[in-house]
Structure 1
Amino acid sequence: MQVDLIIQARWIIPVEPEFVIHENYSLVINDGRIIDLLENQAALNQYQARTLEKRPEHALIPGLINCHTHAAMCLLRGLADDLPLMDWLQNHIWPAEQKWVSAAFVRDGTDLAIAEMLRSGTTCFNDMYFFPEITAQQAIQHGIRANIGLIVFDFPTVWAENADAYLNKGLALRDQLRHERLITHSFAPHAPYTVSDAPLKKIRTFADEMELSIHMHVHETAYEVSNQQQTTQQTPLQRLHDLGLLSPSFMAVHMTQLADEDINLFANTGAHIVHCPESNLKLASGFCPVAKCLEAGINVALGTDGAASNNDLDMLGEMRTAALLAKGFSGNAGAVPAIDALKMATINGAKALGLETEIGSLSIGKAADVVAIDLSELETQPLFNPVSQIVYATSRNQVSDVWVAGEHLLNQHQLTRIDIADLRQRIAVWQQRLTEK
């Protein structure tokens, strides 16, 4: 049988089943999907590939899923470092956005983000930002998978004047792009403190009718929680639960301020947590009790947040930080072992996005979103367990190849759809603008 592509590798880590590692196996891909997974010689006997890629010192893993980004904010990377969240937002980031955010800003910032994500093994990102139509356009142009947030605030910004306008523009965008194979959508109300009850009720109704997920910052800081309690005698989680938002289609980002009763409430709703450990650490926002959440049966995915607060979009680094932080915070060295960290960055992210039948593992029938990691470097030797080595020792510079739906978007460290020289020139222009007094 003739097929489009066979990738041979030293190790294939499918993620599902959980503890399986195949040695000297082949991934067989046709029409953008995985059609077989078998030993190398058997693959060559059974299939004739138009393209045969051999990676004899590499591990293949599912494409990493970055479940929380503000992609265009790459242009604000390093602009206001070492500040707490509300000072960072209100006195630096929001004023800069008010002055500079435009369709061109989002286009160039998203291009920078996509280049960085592909070069570090991310094949799908879940975004929340202004001009989502531009983010979607750039994702389509560069061939990466994206879940585009239909952002909502109560107050006016450069993109819309009020909550109804955000919703109307978002719904129009969703209708326009509903047949794009690599694009999905979520409603993205920014946070409990920036979106009031009336638009949240509308979002809940629309989400139920359209079977869309909801993606929202929740319990990000102690200030957010205490301010809500002073105003309504409820925590933000309790308010969202009363409004009917917490469900298996809800993604709560950050969740750093959680009492045991919050965890139990959340677990009973089937909602998902998107953990952003490096952003939370950098902004001193607090610690998500990941080990307790996993023990309660909550699905926990990983995100980087925006590069303005991280300051990178490196999901390999995020996995390592998530695993180490969980151990230190819980006092349990067995908390979030390497395989759990890898699941958080792959299949758990797919579940949070409602895409677990499409991506998140190297399973027959799923889309061929695949990452090859070179484990031959000195920094990853000697090698006893490739999963542990990927989570605890591997640099994003060891990502050599990335395929999305079977298309080779990073080939031996070279991006195939993005002109790096042109991108550098555009970013240099923005750096000059953003540093003007």
Structure 2
Amino acid sequence: MLTSPQQKQSVDTLIHAKWIARVNIDEPLIDHTIVVDQGIIVDLLPQTQARQKYQAESTYHLDEHIVTPGYINAHGHAAMTLFRGYADDLPLMTWLEDHIWPNESRWLSAEFTRVGSELAIAEMIRGGTTCFSDNYFFSHDVGSSAQKIGIRAQLCPTILNIKTSWANHVDEYLAQAEDSFHKFKSSPLVNSILGPHSPYALNDAELSKVVTKANDLDCMIQMHIHETAEEISNSLEQYYCRPIARIDRVGMLTSKLQAVHMTQLTEHEMDLIAERDVKVVHCPESNLKLASGFCPVSSLRARDITLALGTDGAASNNDLDMMGEMRCASMLAKAVANDATELNAASTLRMATLEGAKCMGIDDIVGSIEIGKQADLCATALNELANLPVYNPISQLIYTANRDQVSHVWVAGNALLKDKKLTTLDCDKLKQDVLHWQEKLAP
């Protein structure tokens, strides 16, 4: 008697790929399938077995692609994309005090933030980014745009002691940040923490208020720290100690701190942040362009410090290209350490994915391709002549590929980029809005 063939299991999506970089394991899978259902990776198996076992509403055949976790841009200022190229080739404090802050004071608004953020999100998705951290004002509007478009985001509402159109003083900034925290507390895509700008932007009492609020909310803090040598010398002159010592004194130097830039560090300071499990966000291209200094990547990695990767804002970078950031980070780390083996391709990819997720405290749901995690994924074609031959697909991804080769991006299983086309943004309308702001902002 004939037996009926085994009925296939129905799922939402099958992604058949030439290579799959899981990140939690260095060796890529070859000719395997990622099975996605209800936004979750439910299986990972050879393509022949997947075709026998599953049927899907959507099937992708990516025969010349490497699929990686989506990139996590661990630090940026999305709305400042409207200032891209506005004040180039200047040192940090001149750039901030003479150009960026005066124009933000004049133009900052919910609409400015929305348009700039959506421009940034469009660029990031097209480059393979599925999650970004945003240290800026009007965080409610940034978060709403992220939810609408379908990208994952960590909001870090900026906290300052100067008046802006968003808040008048530190207490109002903290109140706005707390509102943002509660507004997105139940969101599956967006969460909100605290974003004090820098040690030099707040006095000790104000820094203490940030720590108290973070403890009350049980949330993380992200702040620019030890970005330039000038920051260190000014702190020594004004407070008779280095910035890390100041923030340690007020109780901020803990595992809940995401310290951005960190280009000026002593051996003792690196030992201390390792002991306290402080997370570090490296922004190599911004640091280079502003001549801020070099983050000691090799020394931080040797201490097993969580080290994520960020682009910083497009006003200082001038792009939000995580693939370019990865290549720069790897090569710069080798040069600074005088060691060609430092930050190899697999470690660099991990920095842009799983380490970013650890930095934000979301590595239980994203950052690697594992069964049970959210399907935040990026597919990059490696079929250009400049990529061939492919002996090591992860090396080719880091050292030869570029963001224009990203073809598909998924967040929680939803395709935000399909065959290089954005699916959740009206690009024509966005371009009109951006050009309108260009006319307003033109010097």
1:202 aligned onto 2:209: yes
- Look up the match of 2:141: 134
**In the alignment, what sits opposite 2:5?**
none
Query: Whole-Å Cα distance in 1 between the matches of residues 215 and 37 of structure 2?
Result: 35
| Secondary structure of the corresponding residue to residue 260 of structure 2 | strand
Identity among equivalent positions (%) equals 46
Matched, 1:271 2:278: yes
Structure 1 residue 297, shift from structure 2 partner: 1.5
Is the aligned partner of 1:233 residue 2:240? yes
2:308 partner letter: A
CA-CA distance at 1:99 after TM superposition: 1.2
Per-residue Cα deviation, 1:360-419 (whole angstroms, up to 9, x for no partner):
001111110000000011121111101111111111000000000000000000000111
Matched residues in 1 for 2:393 and 2:166: separation? 45
Look up the match of 2:181.
Answer: 174
Name the residue aligned to 1:295: 302
User: What's the offset of the Cα at 1:206?
Assistant: 2.7
Match of residue 377, structure 2, among 363, 370, 374 = 370
Amino acid at match of 2:249: D
Matched, 1:85 2:92: yes
Spell out the pairing of 1:93-242 with structure 2 (5 A cutoff).
Answer: 93-242=100-249
Which among 3, 16, 22 is matched to residue 8 of structure 1? 16
What is aligned with 2:394? 387
- Give the distance between the partners of 1:207 and 1:363, measured in 2 at CA: 31
Query: Is the Cα contact below 8 Å between 2:282 and 2:310 reproduced in 1?
Result: yes
Is this contact kept in 1: 2:136–2:156, CA < 8 A? Answer: yes
| Counterpart Cα distance in 2 of 1:236 and 1:151 | 18
- Structure 2 matches for 1:419-430, cutoff 5 A? 419-430=426-437
Distance 2:224 2:103 in 1: 21
Residue 14 of structure 1 contacts residue 361 of structure 1 at CA under 8 Å; is this kept in 2?
yes
Mapped partners of 1:305, 1:34: distance in 2: 30
Give the match for residue 45 of structure 2: 38
Secondary structure, aligned partner of 1:193: helix
Out of 32, 41, 53, which is 2:60 matched to?
53
Counterpart of 1:433 (choices 413, 416, 440) is 440
Task: Give the CA deviation at 1:200.
Answer: 2.0
Aligned length: 435
The answer on 1:307 being equivalent to 2:314 is yes
For the residue of structure 1 that corresponds to 2:295, the secondary structure is coil
- Relative to the length of structure 2, the TM-score reads 0.97
Structure 2 CA distance for aligned equivalents of residues 392 and 108 of structure 1: 33
Range with greater deviation from structure 2 (232-241 or 393-402): 232-241
Query: Which of the numbers 327, 332, 335 marks the counterpart of 2:339?
Result: 332
CA distance in 2 between counterparts of 1:172 and 1:327 reads: 43
Provide the secondary structure at the position in 1 that maps to 2:157: strand
Q: State whether residues 17 and 63 of structure 2, in contact with CA within 8 Å, keep that contact through their aligned partners in structure 1.
A: yes
Please, which runs of 5 or more residues in structure 1 have no aligned partner?
A: none
Deviation at 1:207, TM superposition (A): 2.0
In the alignment, residue 442 of structure 2 is paired with which amino acid?
T
Match for 1:64 among 65, 71, 76? Answer: 71
Contact persistence 2:17–2:33 (CA under 8 A):
yes
Which amino acid is the alignment partner of residue 330 of structure 2? A
Classify the secondary structure of the residue corresponding to 1:327. helix
Distance in 1 (alpha carbons) for counterparts of 2:214 and 2:43: 36
**2:3 corresponds to which residue?**
none
Distance in 1 separating the partners of 2:218 and 2:18: 40
Asked if the contact 2:184–2:192 (Cα under 8 Å) also holds between the matched residues in 1, the reply is: no
Distance (whole Å) between structure 1 residues aligned to residue 11 and residue 201 of structure 2: 50
Is residue 2:272 matched to residue 1:249? no
Deviation for aligned residue 1:20: 2.2
The structure 2 residue matched to 1:346, chosen from 345, 353, 373, is 353
1:316 aligns with 2:328: no
> Is the contact between residue 39 and residue 374 of structure 2 (CA under 8 Å) also seen in structure 1?
yes
Answer yes or no: is the 8 Å Cα contact 2:71–2:353 preserved in 1. Answer: yes
The answer on whether the counterparts of 1:34 and 1:368 sit within 8 Å (CA) in structure 2 is: yes
The residue type paired with residue 295 of structure 1 is: A
Q: Distance in 2 between matches of 1:247 and 1:8?
A: 42
Distance 2:425 2:133 in 1: 20
Give TM-score, length-normalised by structure 1: 0.98
User: Structure 2: how far apart are the matches of 1:297 and 1:178?
Assistant: 30
Q: Could you tell me how far 1:199 is from its partner in structure 2?
A: 2.8
Partner-residue secondary structure (3-state), 1:248: coil
**For the residues of structure 1 that align with 2:192 and 2:412, how far apart are their CA atoms?**
18
1:28 to 22, 31, 35: 35
Asked if 2 retains the 8 angstrom alpha-carbon contact of 1:150 and 1:171, the reply is no
Between the aligned partners of 1:77 and 1:184, the Cα distance in structure 2 is 26
Q: Is the 8 A contact 1:368 1:403 kept in 2?
A: yes
Shift of 1:190: 0.4
> Do the aligned partners of 1:264 and 1:296 also contact (CA within 8 Å) in 2?
yes
- Quick one: which of 397, 400, 403 aligns to 1:396? 403
SS of alignment partner, residue 263 of structure 2: coil
Mapped partners of 1:30, 1:330: distance in 2: 44
C-alpha deviation, 1:175, in angstroms:
1.2
Deviations 1:181-226 (A, max 9, x none): 1001111000001122223223222323332111000000111111
1:431 Cα deviation from its structure 2 partner:
1.1
